[in-house]
Structure 1
Amino acid sequence: MSKISTFTLSRHSRLFSVPEDGNEKYLFVKSGDTPYQEEPYRAESYALAFIKEGGVKLTAGLLSWDVDAPAIITLAPSVIRYFSKRSDRLKMDVIFFKESFLLERHADPFFLGSFEFFEDIGRCVLPLNPTNATKFARIYDLAQQARSASQSHQDLIVRSYIFALLYELEAYYRQYTAEKPPPSRGYPLFDQFRKLLRENYMREHKLDFYSSRLHVTSKSLSAAVKKHTGKSAGKWIDDTIILEAKVLLQNKTLTVSQIAGMLNFSDQSVFGKFFRAGAGMSPVEYRKKFD
């Protein structure tokens, strides 16, 4: 997995036209003209995006949301995501930060993993009520001011605001999910399948593997997943692999043959046929989009 390409903070800085200042720990993006990255990618940093006005279409993993203001989007580095235009008046503040920066003086290396809104991709969008929107707007503004002011202990102050934002988000998340339980809560089999898929899709492509691990028949698993999502379990597996392949193909240091091996295909030809069936073009044709 070490060769999987990610968006660096520097690349995000260029994408959002934020002047680079040599800071490789965190990045603040203030509302303005927001570009749309419509090809899937991962990032090296965590992201907390505050949708203040308008809306955006988010795809994270294989799930999609039409996000309307006010709302906060929480994304962990491992999440494959892309954004599509939905409103001409989008205003979005974003804080990107590296785990190493936030936990520099923190004793618990698993701290960020304790936040369910980072761990459960299905809950990475949190609609806000007006009261909480005002509260989060203040925290974002304070963090931005601390970042832009040249002062001693600047990193400590910025880090403190990010911690405050995370704890406020956690409190609001617990309240929100208690009032509006996740749609999948009544479908534990789908949750278990999705977790198993996330952990094994790079190696295991067969439905039988997942059904045997979940102690159900392949037919039962596929029917249950399709009833809940409208898409069979086999399609979930294929789409997950295609999404990963698209991210890997953007890394020009990897050959198509190497990518086929990373995704556990027997050879490049088999991978090529699989990718064309799912993406409508060959791996080479997809890669040419980024020339």
Structure 2
Amino acid sequence: MLRKIPTLAIDEFTQKKNIQWGTHDYFVTADPVNDLLRNFPLRQNCYMISICISGHLRIRVNGEEILYLADTLATFNPSTVIEGLEISDDYRCYLVIFKKSFLIETLNNIYFLERFRFLGNNGLQCKKLSENEKTTLLAQINSILIIQKDKNHPFRRDIIRNLIIILLYETEHVIGTDLQYQNLNHNFGQEKLLLDYQDLLKQHYHKERKLDFYAGKLHVSTQVLSNIVKNKTGQTAKKLIEEMVLSHAKLLLKSGEYNVSEVATLLNYTNVEEFSRFFKRKTGATALKFCKE
């Protein structure tokens, strides 16, 4: 028998932590809801913006598995199915939750949220933040936290609504570059990203073997880069890096001018053992044997 996935209101999703502040259609917190995510898949009836500040959270959102690390921004839409798979003991995050009805209460525009592209991305956005981006977004969230604690402020609700709207614009700005590549209808943008990635590989593969470096240069998340490269080439972005390194390594070894240790140094490996393990994993033969043959 299939288990019914519950749809939780804000009170349930926050395990009633919001009640002490009298906020039933919005809530801001720096305390994660770890226990809730450990138990079952769930839906929430609200929007969420979250920034992980320590530890990690591995979750499945609408069937897609995401590893949510420190300094990563994630956003979720109502009705998306969230399932917690793994939560580290040191996991901490800032979380902004709000219902659409709260945000448009005084705007007289039921379509206001539709202007934010990241809120229409099938319920999920996930992006590694730069230090400046993290500082900007956390400052905005901390402003909301301060006002939320002032229960006697006569305009608390209106001020928080406007601060959340500002946060939405800041979030749209931060992840806007990713969105232009995530839209599968924008083939030209994807082709350009792939070409730019291949050009960067030619320049840096002998020094840089981490995907974070290339994603940073292209101003997209590693997830977006991986998805587009896989979609366009059938290979992972990481494999393209490894194939270029391997091809260069074979040329150097075949030349007869360098021994295995010297090739490892030329390819910027920290030690010959690391290079040897890589070569054996990719070819099935040791670098020394390949060199002799």
Flag whether TM exceeds 0.5 (same fold). Answer: yes
Q: 1:122 to 1:157 in 2, by over 3 A?
A: closer
Q: Which residue matches 2:98? A: 97
Q: Which amino acid aligns with 1:28?
A: V
Q: Distance in 2 between matches of 1:28 and 1:122?
A: 19
> How many angstroms does 1:108 deviate by?
2.4
> How many angstroms does 1:34 deviate by?
3.2
Question: In 1, are the aligned partners of 2:26 and 2:97 still within 8 Å (CA)?
Answer: yes
Equivalent position SS for 2:107: coil
1:41-52 equivalence runs, <5 A = 41-52=42-53
Superposed CA deviations along residues 209-230 of structure 1, whole A, max 9, x for unmatched, are xxxxxxxxxxxxxxxx9x979x
The alignment's C-alpha RMSD in Å is 3.2
> How many angstroms does 1:18 deviate by?
5.2
Question: In 2, are the aligned partners of 1:7 and 1:43 still within 8 Å (CA)?
Answer: yes
Q: Which residue matches 1:175? A: 177
Q: Which residue matches 2:263? A: none
Q: 1:187 to 1:123 in 2, by over 3 A?
A: farther
Equivalent position SS for 1:10: helix
Q: 1:23 to 1:98 in 2, by over 3 A?
A: same
Equivalent position SS for 1:35: helix
Flag the structure with larger Rg. Answer: 2
Question: In 1, are the aligned partners of 2:117 and 2:179 still within 8 Å (CA)?
Answer: no
Superposed CA deviations along residues 72-123 of structure 1, whole A, max 9, x for unmatched, are 1111112111223342211111111110000111132122233222211375
1:21-100 equivalence runs, <5 A = 21-31=21-31, 34-38=34-38, 39-100=40-101
1:153 to 143, 152, 155: 155
Superposed CA deviations along residues 125-174 of structure 1, whole A, max 9, x for unmatched, are 12111110011110111000010013110011111110011000111111
TM-score in terms of structure 2 length: 0.57
Question: In 2, are the aligned partners of 1:63 and 1:122 still within 8 Å (CA)?
Answer: no
Q: Distance in 2 between matches of 1:170 and 1:148?
A: 26
Question: In 1, are the aligned partners of 2:14 and 2:33 still within 8 Å (CA)?
Answer: no
> How many angstroms does 1:4 deviate by?
8.0
Question: In 1, are the aligned partners of 2:52 and 2:69 still within 8 Å (CA)?
Answer: yes
Question: In 1, are the aligned partners of 2:21 and 2:149 still within 8 Å (CA)?
Answer: no
Dislocated runs of 4+, deviation >6 Å: 185-188
1:205-216 equivalence runs, <5 A = none
Equivalent position SS for 1:125: strand
Q: Which residue matches 1:138? A: 139
Question: In 2, are the aligned partners of 1:13 and 1:20 still within 8 Å (CA)?
Answer: no
Q: 1:26 to 1:228 in 2, by over 3 A?
A: farther
Bigger relative CO (Cα 8 Å, ≥ 6 apart): 1
1:115-264 equivalence runs, <5 A = 115-121=116-122, 124-150=125-151, 151-177=153-179, 181-182=181-182
| Structure 2: runs of 5+ lacking an equivalent | 189-230, 236-293
Q: Which amino acid aligns with 2:65?
A: S
Q: Distance in 2 between matches of 1:4 and 1:31?
A: 24
Q: Which amino acid aligns with 2:37?
A: Q
Q: 1:42 to 1:154 in 2, by over 3 A?
A: same
Equivalent position SS for 1:40: coil
Q: Which amino acid aligns with 2:23?
A: N
Q: Which amino acid aligns with 1:60?
A: V
Q: Which amino acid aligns with 1:59?
A: R
Q: Which amino acid aligns with 1:104?
A: E
Superposed CA deviations along residues 9-53 of structure 1, whole A, max 9, x for unmatched, are 1112317x5554443211122236732514221111111111111
Question: In 1, are the aligned partners of 2:8 and 2:44 still within 8 Å (CA)?
Answer: yes
How many pairs align? 189
1:255-274 equivalence runs, <5 A = none
Question: In 1, are the aligned partners of 2:77 and 2:124 still within 8 Å (CA)?
Answer: no
> How many angstroms does 1:186 deviate by?
7.8
